[in-house]
Amino acid sequence: MQSLTDPSIPLFNTPFTTLFLILFGLGLGLRFWLATRQLRHVARHRATPPSAFADAITPEAHQKAADYTLAKTRLARLQLPVEAALLLALTLGGGLQFLHALTDPHQYFWMQALSLGELWHGALLLISLAVASALVDLPFDLWRQFVIDVRFDFNRQTLRGYLLDMVRQTLVGLAIGLPLILLILWLMGIAGQHWWLWAWLVWAGFNLTLLSLYPTLIAPLFNRFTPLPEGELCSRIEGLLTRCGFHASGVFVMDGSRRSSHGNAYFTGFGKSRRIVFYDTLLNQINPAETEAVLAHELGHAHHQHIKRRLTMMFTLSLGLLYLLAQFKQMPAFYTGFGVSTATDATALALFVLLLPVLLFPFSPVFSAGSRRHEFEADRYAAQHSSADHLIAALLKLYRENASTLTPDPLYALFYDSHPKPTERIGQLQALKPAPTH
Ligand SMILES: [Zn+2]
């Protein structure tokens, strides 16, 4: 542990502080402006659905989607300054240094008996950060689910169920996160100047293990999975899998309806443990032919190796970021620039975790654009191996049932949307339909 109370090191007045304040201010302003644009655009187009959807979406359904989008965006815009205030309090406000002092196990007599060392001090600091951020987000989450989603009739969960979920998520998060934090802090302490490479290997290995264990070990803690019963959908899925040369170790229905009425489907896992999962809510919304087209879209993602490509990108990025942290970690200005006067591995890591979203926000249009390109590719695959018509029908029903807006603000969508705008998506599928034969 290195104390940085040397008066020759300027507090708050470092290039790190300046760069942070510029990126932070621009990012916050941009987010606020985009949310405001989205509110204006959706409100302006609230009266009638776009002409391409006039047959499929009634004006009432369109207005419900607009009102739902407006309510959620207003709340998200309100959340922006609150989260920004927390970040400022933790950095320039000296909050991180305060938490560092608060989480020192030596000062608590009941912890002294456990003789926890610096590793545990660091882990407690990082956990306290996660708790602080969760507490600030909690009222917004509650409002989203128990006010907005109740008003629009999407919520299917009681407050008790929500709290039970929270307890379970915390326990699972601790069981997975705590060993990872301890291992990385330990490596930072003993692996010398190349610690970042070792930490990256551990991080990547942890992620891959988690991804392969998630479907069979973790997801069942939160939902019930039952094999899809025999019937039309089952035989359609078998036909599709054979046509596409895929193998799945099981097709399951998940009780998504225990939390919300929003529907979804996914194709998950690696190699032999791959499984197909449909939310029960999805199967209530669309028919077997349409469900087959939705699954074909998911197979398209697998065929084009979108998940592998995203993972490769994420791992490359995290390698670069860990290298960056290794450089920053050696500079006193990195700590003092954010009000931290105790340079430890844990305070460096904590600062980095706090600053990362500010650093990465300018790149969000790039990530979103990549994701939208993948969605177009998966749609083309579905049109080829299933049916463009059925996918269009499914998408229209899902837009309606989930009250997704058909008229997002173009700039807002460019920044945030992982899926193409409905008009563009349906437009591509219509162009892919086989020409009618006479
Ligand atoms: Zn997709």
Q: Model confidence over 255-303: pLDDT tens digits?
A: 999 999 988 888 887 776 788 999 999 999 999 999 999 999 999 999 9
* 404 alpha-carbon distance from chain centroid: 18
Does residue 109 register a pLDDT over 80?
no
The pLDDT assigned to 105 comes to 83
- Whole-number Å distance, alpha carbon 250 to ligand 1 midpoint, is 20
- SS3 state at 268: strand
- Whole-number Å distance, alpha carbon 251 to ligand 1 midpoint, is 18
Residue 292, exposed/middle/buried by CB under 10 A (0-12, 13-18, 19+)? buried
* 48 alpha-carbon distance from chain centroid: 32
User: Would you tell me how many other CB atoms lie within 10 Å of the CB of residue 242?
Assistant: 10
Query: Using 50, 70 and 90 to split pLDDT, how confident is the model at 412?
Result: very high
What is the pLDDT of the chain when averaged over all its residues?
Answer: 92
Give the active site residue among 292, 375, 379, 401.
379
Residue, of 41 and 51, whose pLDDT is higher: 41
- Whole-number Å distance, alpha carbon 407 to ligand 1 midpoint, is 19
**Would residue 153 show up in a list of annotated catalytic residues for this protein?**
no
Q: Distance between CA 178 and CA 408 in Å, rounded? A: 40
Residues whose Cβ atom is located within 5 A of ion ligand 1: 375, 378
Give the active site residue among 298, 345, 375, 409.
298
**Would residue 298 show up in a list of annotated catalytic residues for this protein?**
yes
Q: Distance between CA 365 and CA 344 in Å, rounded? A: 34
- Whole-number Å distance, alpha carbon 402 to ligand 1 midpoint, is 16
Q: Distance between CA 203 and CA 197 in Å, rounded? A: 10
Q: Distance between CA 95 and CA 228 in Å, rounded? A: 51
- Whole-number Å distance, alpha carbon 300 to ligand 1 midpoint, is 8
What lies within 8 Å, CB to CB, of 266 at 6+ separation is: 276, 277, 298
Q: Which segments of 173-330 are extended strands (E)?
A: 225-227, 251-254, 265-268, 275-279
- Whole-number Å distance, alpha carbon 378 to ligand 1 midpoint, is 6
The pLDDT assigned to 75 comes to 98
What's the mean pLDDT in 153-178? Answer: 94
Query: Using 50, 70 and 90 to split pLDDT, how confident is the model at 14?
Result: confident
- Whole-number Å distance, alpha carbon 271 to ligand 1 midpoint, is 20
